[in-house]
Structure 1
Amino acid sequence: MLSLLWCCLKEMLPAFYTSCCELVNKWESMVASKGFGELDVWLELKNFTADVISRAGFGSNYEEGMKIFQLQTEQAELLIQAASSLYIPGSRFIPTQRNRRMKEIDREVQARLRRIINKRMMAREMEEASKNDLLGILLESNSIETKELGKSKNAGLSMEEVVGECKLFYFAGQETTAVLLTWTMILLSMHQDWQSRARKEVLQVFEDNKPTFDGLNNLKIVTMVLYEVLRLYPAAPMLNRFTYKEMKLGDITFPEGVWLTLPEIVVHRDRELWGEDAEEFNPERFSGGILKASKNQVISFFPFGWGPRICIGQNFSLIEAKMAMAMILKHFWFELSPSYAHAPYTVVTLQPQYGAPIILHKL
């Protein structure tokens, strides 16, 4: 699956580029009359990444993918409301308006995904299906695994599991990248010197050409900036792991069934690991790469997790973020609005509590 995803990232660039062009065109229209304008980039970038994941996830079924995204967004909001309410054992079985709506959404999402998957599987049998979107990659990988394992009980994913993976496309791939892009624009607004350096690099690499896969991977300064944003404002400030058997970590032995929390945001700001400027925005620390950025090398920096359970979508997210920032930097310079209030808070991901009002200026 990993190798297939990496090989197909190049094929997904047109989907990324189309969404980026639509975003830039929309923003240019907003600032056309005065040459500048204010907008909440948090809301804008959430819509942008939903657009990208719908195109890259479902290809020709883009409109259906966007509808599924809208339903899942509503479902997430209802789940947050439920989690914030007084917990009463068994309350989820009471047919309240919220509980009924959550069940309706789940049924509709399941039905829509099954229709998309069944249609794609029929197209695969006729050798007419695309393999260049996430659903195509998933079905292709599943088909290969099924053939290799034959009738084994672990041979491939069931329909329910494929549906679950498709739902995960959105939760794991949409809001996390929107968070990364939003904090990047906020921090580059606060640090105009780094915004200028990143823009100069983008213009040198691409000039008047549209971003290419190799060019995006050659954006050293932009990459340093993204890593530093991920260090200070990781999308998931804490990672949780569960021991499914007795395990030994260093000198400590954990029995089966222990819930472990890795405080990512605390480790990323530890002065013993990152130096006295650990709380400051300094992308230069990544000039030698991740391994040389901190005193304790790899285990100091894990915005996408680490080890065998590292996020499968990290390359997808970083390429998408580089493409978006390259396009934005080529067309605009930006600064914080006077109404901006710096208040990071966690609702599953680390978000700007009062949004991210930013003033865009057309270049």
Structure 2
Amino acid sequence: MSTKTLLMGCAASAILLSCRTRFGAITMFLLLASLALTCNLLYRLILWPKLLSPTRHLPGPTSASFLMGNFPIIHGVRSGAPQANWMRTIPNSGLLRYLDLFNIERVLPTTAEALKEVLHTKSYCFIKPPILTSDVAKILGRTGLLFVEGEEHKMQRKLLLPAFSHAHIKALVPGFWSKGMEMTEKVAAVVRASRSSGGEGEEGVVVEMGRWCSLATLDIIGSCGFGYEFRALESASISGSSDTEEKSGSELANAYNTIFNKGSPSWIAVVLSTIFPSSFVQYLALKRTREVARAAGTIRRVTARILAAKKSALATSPKDSESNDILSVMLKSDTYTGPEGESSMRDQMMTFLAAGHETTATSMIWAIYTLSLPENRHIQSRLRAEIHAAFPSGVPATVTYDQIANLKYLSYITSEVLRLHPPVGVTLRMAGEDTTLNGEFLPKGTSIVISPFAINRSVALWGADAEEFKPERWAGGADGAAAVESNYGFLTFLAGPRGCIGHVFARAEFKCLLAAAVGRFEFGQDGKKELVVKAGVTAKPVGGIPVTVREVVWG
């Protein structure tokens, strides 16, 4: 019998004995229910985290609040930033512990050895916690690769690997470049329209590049991932393009804009979810909850339409039947048959739609922002020179994988951006059973925080200049190889059996889009907007990052 059960049982027995002769059955039931809830809250909020938890002796920050733990520090800042600070300032032997909202304890692995246990050695022991599978799964697909566990995850990953093979990605690069060219044409139209109306400043025209990057990556995952044309760039208006709220012309793009670009989830819902089941909270009349639910409904409806179109194409066209995109691979498998298989396939599509376009768009935003900083303009110029030298005849209509791979400085820059600005700064795991980590006992249900943002900036792993933007640090390794000894020192794509299956796809896509943008434009800072990054699904600046854009002569 657990300590929690024993305490609550004793309390209930005591009140039952004292009240059964004085009150009616209904009154006694309400008293017992109130007492049980009080005991449960007392146990969860105070007794367990402060007096009983076996991890309470681990080093960590002092609690900023008696009941709210370190939540006041974490809330409202960039995901991973507090963890990075604690790793730098609190001595530890591989694990830190802190308290989140309502004193929910979090264990933070800080060394490559501890991370290897979570991500590789015991990867199927540390599972996705309910808070992710119940809330985020509404957007990313509950039965997709991101959330399934154990043997189901192994089976799905093995099935999908052909769609992400190196040979297949090489064949997709011309498609990546084509969408990059389409994006730069749209941005060029914005610049010219603003210039003609007198809106160009000394440094160029101010453009919110995040909008165009998001539309481009959505088109890429549609055409290269599903063999389906969303035409999000084509349908987007160039008027008012610095306004992130503007409708794009694509209902799918608008749905993702609602989810990722219009603020974090309602904190009222977050607080209530720690007390009540999330299935109850989602039915409350909270504005943000309703917005996300409508957006998720749109995404699910669009994915069903894509699926129907793909089925029809595969049935009627021999050329389509030979396709090796993600959706074709799933449709050719016996795994996704029947109503349950089709539902699982839609969830898989939702996973890749969100993860496949939002993360790369976020990386593009950070790359353009970083290169536009005054201290990095020389890096931007050097990159542009490399791109122009590789294509001396002018803007290429198409490129090959090898041509992009040979742009070494481009590779260094994209790797360094991914290191310093991982799209997902923090993710969660939970001990699915009683286990140990780094020699410490963890009871079932213990929350584990993995912070790519903090690990990627670890002085112990990356040296004293870990916080600096230094593309040259990648010059010693092969393309895509981390400039750090351990595979667990660069966690942008995580690692181990549950590492990102699409990391080669994402890197190639990122390189093509950045080469297309920097080859065509010079980016600078307009100096009118303060950079604000808050905790959220992805680490995107609030309101985007408007930069000055000026066309350059190729070569």
Report the TM-score when normalising by structure 2: 0.57
Match of 2:504 in 1: 315
Match of 2:139 in 1: none
Deviations 1:166-209 (A, max 9, x none): 11122211111111111111111120121122112212223333
Cα distance in 2 for residues equivalent to 1:330 and 1:61: 25
What SS is found at the alignment partner of 2:550?
Answer: strand
User: How far 1:221 sits from its partner (Å)?
Assistant: 0.9
1:55 aligns with 2:232: no
Percent identity of the aligned residues? Answer: 25
Match of 2:518 in 1: 329
What SS is found at the alignment partner of 2:266?
Answer: helix
Match of 1:136 in 2: 328
Whose radius of gyration is greater, 1 or 2? 2
Match of 1:117 in 2: 307
Match of 2:548 in 1: 359
RMSD after superposition: 3.1
What SS is found at the alignment partner of 1:299?
Answer: coil
Cα distance in 1 for residues equivalent to 2:426 and 2:292: 27
User: How far 1:322 sits from its partner (Å)?
Assistant: 0.5
Match of 2:176 in 1: 16
The 5-angstrom pairing of residues 127-276 of structure 1 reads 128=318, 129=320, 131-140=323-332, 142-143=333-334, 158-190=341-373, 191-207=376-392, 208=394, 209=396, 210-276=398-464
Given that 2:336 and 2:342 are in contact with CA atoms closer than 8 Å, whether structure 1 keeps it comes out as no
1:293 aligns with 2:483: yes
User: How far 1:320 sits from its partner (Å)?
Assistant: 1.0
Match of 2:115 in 1: none
User: How far 1:74 sits from its partner (Å)?
Assistant: 3.1
5+ long unaligned stretches in structure 1: 148-154
What SS is found at the alignment partner of 1:44?
Answer: helix
What SS is found at the alignment partner of 2:212?
Answer: helix
Q: Which amino acid aligns with 1:133?
A: D
Check 1:197–1:339 CA distance in 2 against 1; reply closer, same or farther (3 A cut): same
Cα distance in 2 for residues equivalent to 1:292 and 1:109: 35
Check 1:102–1:272 CA distance in 2 against 1; reply closer, same or farther (3 A cut): closer
Q: Which has the higher helix share?
A: 1
Given that 1:206 and 1:215 are in contact with CA atoms closer than 8 Å, whether structure 2 keeps it comes out as no
What SS is found at the alignment partner of 1:344?
Answer: coil
Cα distance in 1 for residues equivalent to 2:518 and 2:175: 19
1:41 aligns with 2:225: no
Cα distance in 2 for residues equivalent to 1:293 and 1:274: 8
Cα distance in 1 for residues equivalent to 2:207 and 2:301: 36
Report the TM-score when normalising by structure 1: 0.84
Cα distance in 2 for residues equivalent to 1:132 and 1:246: 41
Match of 1:150 in 2: none
Check 1:215–1:137 CA distance in 2 against 1; reply closer, same or farther (3 A cut): farther
The count of residues paired between Structure 1 and Structure 2 equals 353
1:82 aligns with 2:266: yes
Cα distance in 2 for residues equivalent to 1:72 and 1:359: 25
User: How far 1:217 sits from its partner (Å)?
Assistant: 1.7
Cα distance in 2 for residues equivalent to 1:280 and 1:306: 23
Q: Which amino acid aligns with 1:4?
A: A
Match of 2:162 in 1: 3
User: How far 1:98 sits from its partner (Å)?
Assistant: 6.3
Given that 1:49 and 1:175 are in contact with CA atoms closer than 8 Å, whether structure 2 keeps it comes out as yes
Given that 2:455 and 2:491 are in contact with CA atoms closer than 8 Å, whether structure 1 keeps it comes out as no
User: How far 1:281 sits from its partner (Å)?
Assistant: 0.8
Cα distance in 2 for residues equivalent to 1:51 and 1:23: 10
Check 1:231–1:54 CA distance in 2 against 1; reply closer, same or farther (3 A cut): same
Match of 1:71 in 2: 255
Check 1:86–1:278 CA distance in 2 against 1; reply closer, same or farther (3 A cut): closer
User: How far 1:244 sits from its partner (Å)?
Assistant: 3.1
Check 1:350–1:146 CA distance in 2 against 1; reply closer, same or farther (3 A cut): closer
Match of 1:25 in 2: 185
Q: Which amino acid aligns with 1:260?
A: I
What SS is found at the alignment partner of 1:351?
Answer: coil
Given that 1:245 and 1:257 are in contact with CA atoms closer than 8 Å, whether structure 2 keeps it comes out as yes
Match of 1:281 in 2: 469
Check 1:299–1:349 CA distance in 2 against 1; reply closer, same or farther (3 A cut): same
User: How far 1:26 sits from its partner (Å)?
Assistant: 1.6
User: How far 1:109 sits from its partner (Å)?
Assistant: 3.7
Q: Which amino acid aligns with 2:429?
A: R
Deviations 1:110-136 (A, max 9, x none): 344233323423443445435253322
Q: Which amino acid aligns with 1:264?
A: P
Q: Which amino acid aligns with 2:329?
A: I
Given that 1:53 and 1:174 are in contact with CA atoms closer than 8 Å, whether structure 2 keeps it comes out as yes
Cα distance in 2 for residues equivalent to 1:330 and 1:255: 53
Cα distance in 2 for residues equivalent to 1:61 and 1:74: 21
Cα distance in 2 for residues equivalent to 1:55 and 1:292: 30
Cα distance in 2 for residues equivalent to 1:196 and 1:232: 20
User: How far 1:324 sits from its partner (Å)?
Assistant: 0.7
